[in-house]
């Protein structure tokens, strides 16, 4: 008799214990876990884990894509920089040639010495500024977009190069006039 | 008193290639000044010029005249080349020394706020030290560390370690508050400042700044530079043909300078000015102010609307002297008087850019 009472009590404890637990197999101890397994909680947990995993994968994909975009941007910036450096180099050669011509004008008889001196001074100034452009561009090596100061420096250098090009064209014209 | 570019805490990299002058070509100096100086010097004043007293004697003839040996001279171009140091200038006010911090320089990177008061350098008090001696303390090799004790603009005291680095300042700097169009010009360099300013304004536009938002230009540290560049920059904000100023020479020759054609900007302009705003910077601000195109906030400017020229002498040395005076569109010269701001502020306020921007807002009624 005592044994039957004990079995009934245990059975009731199992039933109520199972009812009181959550259906997540992680919760509710042994009986709760058993209940969870039986009620589909394990499946839910798996689904939840898969969802979380998918979220992580999506974040990873977004990060990869962002990284890819940054790499593309960085490559584009580097390509632009290479082009700018090439332009500055060719302008430096042109200015060096102009400098040579201005020097030969100074030795030539019958030229307007005052204007030749002015030309030489301006060519020397232009030469200095182009050298600065070259060195400032070198400083931008390896930088991408996003750094405000760097982006601004890039824009300023670009506009200044256009302005130096105009000055070069003007001095070239002046040199031709003086040579005639 | 403000220290000139040669005393800033930076070392220019390239030295001039001229041979050093051992003695000044005095006859050449006498001839140039007698023929071209804005105010003709008395013959007796020229006669007594000698090498030993040259700096002082030149100053008696022309307060802005200066003689540089070939080694001393830095052209505006070479002055702008890479600097090595803490990336700040010294501003001397009475016995106090403040740091004018360059954006992106070593001090800025280390978190030193602009206009911090310098108390100690590597534990040594700067009180009673000559500014030049302070500059020497601040200089050092690239990568070396200097420890600064500062009184910050907000009243706190702070010790900061600054690693001396090489640095190229921007021709036009973007300064806080970053959500506003605030920029700083320190010098007008021929052919460089105008494109840099245009690039900076375009940069604001790219970042979707409102076209009606005030453009605030901080000229507190702008000690001058190229006169024609200053006029060119002023012309960006005024219709073609508008009078920017009149250049007068000693012979009474008068030349009007007018705004040229090209791209124009129409947003309201406010200048922040102070006692160190001088020469080309005053002419730039004065031209726009006189034409009703800009407002001035800050303190009365230095008061020098004359222009100097630098002449290379036969031995490679350089003579700088005053040869032009500039009259602003209203018919007055700022020389000796300075520009008077529309809104005057205290010394304390003049050191705080964020508060100055608030003053600008209250002046223009945008707040």
- Report if residue A174 sits inside a domain: yes
My answer on whether A114 and A165 are in the same domain is: yes
User: Average pLDDT, whole number, for chain B?
Assistant: 88
Task: Give the model confidence (pLDDT) of B261-311 as tens digits.
Answer: 999 999 999 999 999 999 999 999 999 999 999 999 999 999 999 999 999
My answer on whether A96 and A17 are in the same domain is: no
Q: B247 versus A76: which is more confidently predicted?
A: B247
Chain-centre distance for alpha carbon B109: 23
Second-level CATH architecture of B172-303+338-364: Alpha-Beta Complex (3.90)
pLDDT at A126: 92
Supply the DSSP symbol for A145: S
| Total number of domains in chain A | 2
Of residues B11, B1, B216, B220, the one with CA closest to residue B115? B220
pLDDT(A143) > 80: no
Q: Please compute the mean of the pLDDT values over residues B347-358 and round it to a whole number.
A: 93
pLDDT at A169: 94
B74 has a chain A CB within 8 A of its CB: no
- Report if residue A25 sits inside a domain: yes
Task: Give the model confidence (pLDDT) of B161-174 as tens digits.
Answer: 999 998 888 999 99
My answer on whether A26 and A79 are in the same domain is: no
- Report if residue A88 sits inside a domain: yes
Percent of all residues in chain B with a pLDDT value above 90, rounded to a whole number: 69
Mutation target for A interface from B12, B13, B36, B77: give the one with most A CBs within 10 A: B77
Tell me which chain A residues have a C-beta less than 8 angstroms from the C-beta of B190: 125
- The CA-to-CA distance between both ends of chain B, in Å, stands at 35
Contact call for residues B194 and B201 (beta carbons, < 8 A): no
pLDDT(B59) > 70: yes
My answer on whether A86 and A159 are in the same domain is: yes
Residue range B90-167, CATH number:
2.30.42.10
Residue with tokens 């290639």: B17
- Report if residue A51 sits inside a domain: no
- Report if residue A87 sits inside a domain: yes
Q: A134 versus B230: which is more confidently predicted?
A: B230
Indicate the pairing of strand B269-273 with strand B215-218: parallel
Among chain B residues, CA nearest to A138: B168
My answer on whether A88 and A166 are in the same domain is: yes
Opening angle at CA B353, ends B102 and B90, nearest 5: 40
Residue A54 neighbours by CB under 8 Å, 6+ apart: none
B195 has a chain A CB within 8 A of its CB: yes
My answer on whether A147 and A103 are in the same domain is: yes
Partners of B307 in the β-ladder:
B324
My answer on whether A24 and A80 are in the same domain is: no
Contact call for residues B279 and B224 (beta carbons, < 8 A): yes
The answer to whether the CB atoms of B191 and A160 lie below 8 A apart is: yes
pLDDT at B9: 37
Task: Give the model confidence (pLDDT) of B209-225 as tens digits.
Answer: 677 789 999 999 999 99
ipTM > 0.90, yes or no: no
- Report if residue A63 sits inside a domain: no
Task: Give the model confidence (pLDDT) of A54-69 as tens digits.
Answer: 999 998 988 888 888 8
* d(C-alpha B346, C-alpha B216), whole Å: 19
pLDDT at A65: 85
Query: Angle at which helices B280-290 and B227-235 pack, to 10 degrees?
Result: 30
My answer on whether A106 and A23 are in the same domain is: no
- Lowest average pLDDT, out of A78-87, A159-168, B21-30, B98-107, goes to B21-30
Tell me which chain B residues have a C-beta less than 8 angstroms from the C-beta of A163: 191-192, 194-195
Tell me which chain A residues have a C-beta less than 8 angstroms from the C-beta of B168: 135-136, 139
pTM equals 0.79
Task: Give the model confidence (pLDDT) of A95-106 as tens digits.
Answer: 999 999 988 888
The answer to whether the CB atoms of B203 and A151 lie below 8 A apart is: yes
Tell me which chain A residues have a C-beta less than 8 angstroms from the C-beta of B199: 152, 155-156, 158-160
Confidence class for position B84, pLDDT limits 50, 70, 90: confident
Domain that holds residue A79: 74-179
Residues of B (294-313) whose Cβ lies below 8 Å from A: 312
Residue B38 neighbours by CB under 8 Å, 6+ apart: B62, B249, B250, B306, B322, B323, B324, B325
User: Average pLDDT, whole number, for chain A?
Assistant: 80
Domain ranges of chain B: 90-167, 172-303+338-364
């Amino acid at each position: 008799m005592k044994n039957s009472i004990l079995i009934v009590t245990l059975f009731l404890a199992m039933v109520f214990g199972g009812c009181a637990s959550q259906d997540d197999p992680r919760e509710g101890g042994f009986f709760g876990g058993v209940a969870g397994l039986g009620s589909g909680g394990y499946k839910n947990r798996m689904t939840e884990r898969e969802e979380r995993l998918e979220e992580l994968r999506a974040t990873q994909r977004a990060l990869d894509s962002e990284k890819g975009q940054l790499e593309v941007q960085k490559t584009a910036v580097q390509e632009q920089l290479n082009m700018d450096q090439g332009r500055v180099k060719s302008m430096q050669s042109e200015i060096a040639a102009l400098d040579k011509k201005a020097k030969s004008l100074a030795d030539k008889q019958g030229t307007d010495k005052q204007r030749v001196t002015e030309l030489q001074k301006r060519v020397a100034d232009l030469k200095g500024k182009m050298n600065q452009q070259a060195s400032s561009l070198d400083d931008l090596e390896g930088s991408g977009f996003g750094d405000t100061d760097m982006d601004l420096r890039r824009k300023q250098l670009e506009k200044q190069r256009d302005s130096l090009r105009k000055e070069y064209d003007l001095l070239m014209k002046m040199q031709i006039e003086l040579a005639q | 008193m403000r220290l000139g570019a040669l005393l800033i805490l930076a070392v220019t990299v390239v030295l001039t290639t001229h041979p050093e002058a051992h003695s000044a070509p005095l006859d050449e100096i006498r001839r140039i000044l007698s023929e071209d100086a804005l105010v003709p010097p008395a013959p007796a004043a020229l006669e007594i010029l000698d090498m030993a007293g040259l700096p002082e004697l030149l100053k008696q003839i022309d307060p802005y005249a200066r003689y540089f040996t070939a080694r001393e001279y830095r052209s505006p171009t070479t002055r702008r080349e890479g600097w090595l140091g803490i990336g700040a200038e010294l501003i001397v006010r009475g016995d106090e020394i403040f740091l004018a911090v360059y954006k992106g320089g070593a001090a800025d990177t280390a978190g030193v706020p602009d206009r911090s008061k310098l108390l100690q350098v590597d534990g040594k008090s700067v009180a009673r030290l000559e500014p030049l001696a302070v500059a020497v303390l601040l200089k050092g090799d690239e990568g070396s560390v200097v420890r600064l004790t500062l009184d910050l603009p907000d009243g706190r005291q702070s010790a900061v370690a600054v690693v001396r680095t090489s640095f190229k300042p921007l021709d036009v700097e973007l300064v806080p508050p970053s959500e506003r169009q605030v920029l700083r010009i320190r010098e007008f360099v021929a052919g460089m400042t105008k494109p840099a300013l245009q690039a900076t304004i375009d940069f604001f536009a790219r970042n979707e700044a409102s076209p009606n938002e005030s453009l605030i230009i901080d000229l507190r540290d702008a000690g001058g530079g190229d006169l024609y560049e200053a006029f060119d920059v002023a012309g960006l904000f005024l219709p073609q043909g508008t009078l920017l100023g009149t250049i007068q020479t000693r012979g009474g020759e008068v030349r009007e300078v007018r705004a040229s054609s090209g791209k124009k900007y129409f947003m309201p302009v406010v200048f922040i000015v102070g006692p160190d705003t001088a020469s080309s910077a005053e002419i730039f601000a004065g031209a726009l102010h006189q034409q009703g195109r800009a407002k001035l906030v800050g303190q009365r400017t230095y008061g020098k609307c004359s222009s100097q020229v630098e002449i290379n002498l036969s031995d490679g040395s350089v003579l700088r002297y005053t040869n032009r005076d500039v009259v602003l569109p209203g018919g007055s010269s700022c020389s000796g008087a300075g520009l008077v701001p529309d809104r005057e502020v205290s010394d304390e306020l003049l050191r705080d850019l964020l508060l100055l921007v608030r003053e600008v807002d209250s002046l223009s009624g945008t707040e």
